[in-house]
A = this chain, B = another copy of it.
Amino acid sequence: MTEQMPALTLEGRVDGTFVVETAAVESTERPELVLTYAGIVGDRHEGLVRPSNAREPWYPRGTPMRNERQLSIVSAEELAEVAAALNLERILGQWVGANLVISGIPHLTQLPPRSLMMFPSGATLRIDGDNDPCRKTGKTIAAQHEGRSDLEFGFVKAAMGKRGLVGWVEREGAIRVGDAVRVRTWRQVAYPGQPLLST
């Protein structure tokens, strides 16, 4: 027996667009992002190729590899849930180095790899998959809140499964604040070689 789920189309909205300009985690708000096949023009993660890092322990660090992590995409609703769990008023997309904050897509972080995000300009992103929360981002949020050094580790725990997605540019174009976004998933099939677990 194969467990499978049908393809799905969803609609959301772009609440914020941001560029990472420095080696720090944070991103800076912009009214518009210009996308080429290399990613966001002017973003620190722009490139067709990137050096591997601790996320790819199967490669020697610094190995050249195709850049599947051109953009970081987070959910407004998930960020609010993480903030609530940490007893914070809010967490801004900028603090977690997001390029896009999107609202209206339930469980954004669980969108399957290969999903498409289409924007009115014709720009399309293809989703590589979910992003894992890291201590560096926790530390950045802690630095915003005096007396809350607990946030460095607390963020990693609270943001598990809610840290958004990474992906790459499938079609060039622009993304603007206020844009509608159409998400298309593919039929999802549970790989039979792996047991189904409940969490």
Contacts and interface: CB of A to CB of B under 8 A. Distances in A.
B197 A4 contact: yes
Contact of A198 (B1, B49, B168, B185): B1
26 contacts: A2-B110, A2-B199, A3-B198, A5-B190, A5-B195, A6-B194, A6-B197, A8-B191, A37-B48, A37-B49, A63-B171, A64-B172, A66-B126, A66-B169, A68-B126, A106-B192, A106-B193, A107-B192, A110-B189, A113-B113, A113-B186, A114-B128, A114-B129, A185-B194, A188-B194, A190-B190
A5 B194 contact: yes
Q: How many residues of A sit at the interface, in one of the four size bands? A: 35 or more
Given A191-B185, A193-B106, A170 B3 contact: no
A98 interface: no
A131 to B, nearest CB: 12
Contacts of A58: 116, 118, 184
Interface centre among A5, A63, A197 (most CB of B within 10 A): A5
A88 interface: no
Contacts of A118: 58
Contact of A186 (B1, B111, B129): B129
Interface string A1-36: 111111010100000000000000000000000000
Interface centre among A110, A161, A193, A199 (most CB of B within 10 A): A193
